[in-house]
Chain A
């Protein structure tokens, strides 16, 4: 249900079409080749729909209109005020076009009219195009967004890159730890397990803030490196408020999600397998590679998928330690949900995220096989 609602919202533009049905109908008849500005009928329909429309519905439409071009909100608001005045005095204009342009000169600016083309249909793919840095030109052709505003494709790539890196780092770091946990005598491994779980139970914000203290330029790590003479005092490393910080903090925070499934899989691998392999003449490395590793694949896949899924939607940690590189796709979903109220774009971003996940899932299924996953 919620997913269905999200997919529906990502293409739905019916609210605004309910507010300006006649304007949009007339708009579609406008021949852009012939006339620079829309014909009188469009202005007339707009006048009437603003004059007699429901205030709240118009208000909601305003929010929508502003997505297509900045400035719609105040344009419609100032125009509405003039229209209301005229209607109150019972002075309907003879020429609606002239009236609106006098009310606000932007009605003579064709770019606003071109932008209207984005909203004249009940169902629209425009939000998906926006989510990929694209928009419509005057003839409804898909074109790239203004260069200064292109952010989403970059953000998608950055999000994927960080998620993949974090997954790999978690695997590299988590594998030996899980192996140790699974093979130590119980009393040691229990103690070690607490070291894994303790940060897992600690608040996310506390851990994130702790990383800031550790990594900042006058922080613990830089302090130690300078004290040891490895770095000069002026050469302190920028470890936080950038991508490095994001990777370090996210890897640490997501590490338990890799260790736990790996551990539960490794624990049930009989130790005799390795011994048997070596007995039969395999070198330890070969035995590990050929006998042990394949048996841990279900754990690696479960952990990897878990970490990747969590990382791709991560939001608060990168926001705090990432500085300028901290805005992953989750940030933009939250931003449009809360600040711009552009739920269509939100839904489109979410749907693409879902699509990316499904692609990875499908790839995974092709390569490893989905039955091959095991959490314990």
Chain B
């Protein structure tokens, strides 16, 4: 046996017990996971017991782990459509009774579900297996220096290249932009999900609106790209994740403006994998991570909004809440007045129609 193998075996004997007790959380990495570490793990009773691992979203790895019976991720941070599918497929464990009994209540005793409903969300099967995290959003932003005169302030402006010439940065997948397109066409933001679900031809209509800017689009595929595109002047406006824009404004001294109208609010969940090796510890951590206090704490480190309504008053009462004495509410996507002009994504509809629309969007891009 070589020295190296010996050392390796020795190390695995020493470290294995610790590793086995740690709750492994799979999350998206970058600034987002940093904020989770600071807000959830560092405030937890036993910070050392939480280990974060990066992944790229989707349920592929989770399904592979559950199917092979070799589960290493206790908790997975997922988008709502994946929460639904994962829960339906049994990749995530149904813990609805545990969430009801162990969940940290709000100041007036609100349950997790009541808190989410207060934020305008409707029950879906993901709620049985997962606890809420944050609201994030697809928002349009621009550099005010690029518009010396009148500045764009609506979705109609974003889709109007004659009034505001210049390229637009949009993502290479469908979900944010096709909903914004309907807003530009005059649909009230709050009504967009219903229009998609109930009106035949709504999707065609959205694609027709997008045709108007198609020749003026630079497509991006990674979350950091839209910032780079706007900064370098490659495009004059872009759709981006609001957390990225917030970070640029707060930490990098940029002065980007948001167009909140037509922002697409989406949810984020933390789910318990079926057969998680540290189920009990993971459950306990889930409840901590979904408490109103933890959710408010997270806003200190990234400009994503708490999904539990009781998280917001904590931030408002303690402003300046942001880093270096900055007020954080101006950067939060889910303030009451912004909610009025927002599209709240309907994950159920997307889990039904996402694949088809995604193919159609790609066909549209490629033509």
Interface positions of A (Cβ within 8 A of B) = 55-56, 59-60, 62-63, 66-67, 70-74, 77, 148-151, 154-155, 158, 212, 216-219, 241, 319-320, 323-327, 335, 337-342
Q: Is the CB of A340 within 8 A of B354?
A: yes
Given A326-B219, A327-B172, also A154-B366 (CB < 8 A): yes
Interface positions of B (Cβ within 8 A of A) = 56-61, 63, 85, 87-90, 125, 172, 217-222, 225, 228, 232-234, 348-349, 351-356, 358-360, 362-366
Q: Is the CB of B90 within 8 A of A325?
A: no
Q: Is the CB of B348 within 8 A of A74?
A: yes
Min CB distance A178 to B, Å, is 34
Query: Please, which residues of chain B bring their CB within 8 A of the CB of A324?
Result: 172, 217, 219, 365-366
Given A151-B366, A326-B221, A327-B172, also A217-B351 (CB < 8 A): no
Q: How many A-B residue pairs have CB under 8 A?
A: 111
B88, B233, B363, B365: the one contacting A148 at CB < 8 Å is B363
A89 to B90, CA, bound (A): 26
20 A-B pairs within 8 Å (CB atoms) are namely A59-B89, A59-B90, A60-B90, A62-B89, A63-B89, A66-B352, A77-B125, A154-B366, A216-B232, A217-B233, A217-B234, A218-B232, A320-B221, A320-B225, A324-B365, A324-B366, A337-B58, A338-B59, A339-B57, A341-B63
A340 to B173, CA, bound (A): 13
Min CB distance B303 to A, Å, is 24
Min CB distance B28 to A, Å, is 13
A314 to B366, CA, bound (A): 18
B61, B85, B219, B359: the one contacting A241 at CB < 8 Å is B219
Q: Is the CB of A320 within 8 A of B222?
A: yes
B225, B352, B355: the one contacting A74 at CB < 8 Å is B352
Given A148-B360, A337-B60, also A63-B353 (CB < 8 A): no
Given A341-B59, A341-B60, also A70-B89 (CB < 8 A): no
Chain A's closest residue to B63 (CB) is A341
A27 to B365, CA, bound (A): 39
Most A Cβ at <10 Å: residue of B57, B59, B355, B358: B355
Query: Please, which residues of chain A bring their CB within 8 A of the CB of B355?
Result: 66-67, 70, 339-340, 342
Query: Please, which residues of chain A bring their CB within 8 A of the CB of B56?
Result: 338
Query: Please, which residues of chain A bring their CB within 8 A of the CB of B351?
Result: 66, 73
Chain A's closest residue to B81 (CB) is A339
A339 to B295, CA, bound (A): 27
Q: Is the CB of A325 within 8 A of B366?
A: yes
Q: Is the CB of A151 within 8 A of B359?
A: yes
Most A Cβ at <10 Å: residue of B63, B88, B228, B354: B88
A144 to B359, CA, bound (A): 14
Min CB distance B353 to A, Å, is 4
A216 to B220, CA, bound (A): 13
B61, B88, B354, B360: the one contacting A62 at CB < 8 Å is B88
Chain A's closest residue to B356 (CB) is A70
A154, A217, A326: the one contacting B172 at CB < 8 Å is A326
Chain A's closest residue to B203 (CB) is A148
Query: Please, which residues of chain B bring their CB within 8 A of the CB of A63?
Result: 85, 88-89
Q: Is the CB of B90 within 8 A of A151?
A: no
Chain A's closest residue to B59 (CB) is A341
Given A241-B218, A323-B218, A341-B63, also A73-B352 (CB < 8 A): yes
Q: Is the CB of A71 within 8 A of B221?
A: no
A74, A77, A219, A323: the one contacting B219 at CB < 8 Å is A323
A38 to B124, CA, bound (A): 31
Q: Is the CB of A338 within 8 A of B58?
A: yes
Query: Please, which residues of chain A bring their CB within 8 A of the CB of B232?
Result: 216, 218-219
Min CB distance B202 to A, Å, is 13
Min CB distance B54 to A, Å, is 14
Query: Please, which residues of chain A bring their CB within 8 A of the CB of B220?
Result: 241, 323
A212 to B349, CA, bound (A): 36
Q: Is the CB of A341 within 8 A of B85?
A: yes
Query: Please, which residues of chain A bring their CB within 8 A of the CB of B233?
Result: 217-218
Q: Is the CB of B360 within 8 A of A149?
A: yes
Query: Please, which residues of chain A bring their CB within 8 A of the CB of B352?
Result: 66, 70-74
Given A67-B355, A337-B60, also A151-B363 (CB < 8 A): yes
Q: Is the CB of B125 within 8 A of A56?
A: no
A149, A216, A219, A241: the one contacting B363 at CB < 8 Å is A149
A71 to B125, CA, bound (A): 16
Chain B's closest residue to A72 (CB) is B352
Chain B's closest residue to A340 (CB) is B355
Query: Please, which residues of chain B bring their CB within 8 A of the CB of A327?
Result: 172, 362, 365-366
A344 to B301, CA, bound (A): 41
Most B Cβ at <10 Å: residue of A62, A74, A324: A324
Min CB distance A150 to B, Å, is 6
A217 to B229, CA, bound (A): 10
Query: Please, which residues of chain A bring their CB within 8 A of the CB of B88?
Result: 59-60, 62-63, 73, 77
Query: Please, which residues of chain B bring their CB within 8 A of the CB of A155?
Result: 366
Min CB distance B247 to A, Å, is 18
Given A70-B352, A70-B356, also A319-B365 (CB < 8 A): no
Query: Please, which residues of chain B bring their CB within 8 A of the CB of A212?
Result: 228
Min CB distance A340 to B, Å, is 4
Having A74-B352, A324-B219, A338-B59, one finds 12 other A-B pairs with CB under 8 Å, namely: A59-B88, A59-B89, A71-B352, A71-B353, A148-B360, A149-B356, A151-B359, A217-B234, A324-B365, A326-B172, A327-B365, A341-B63
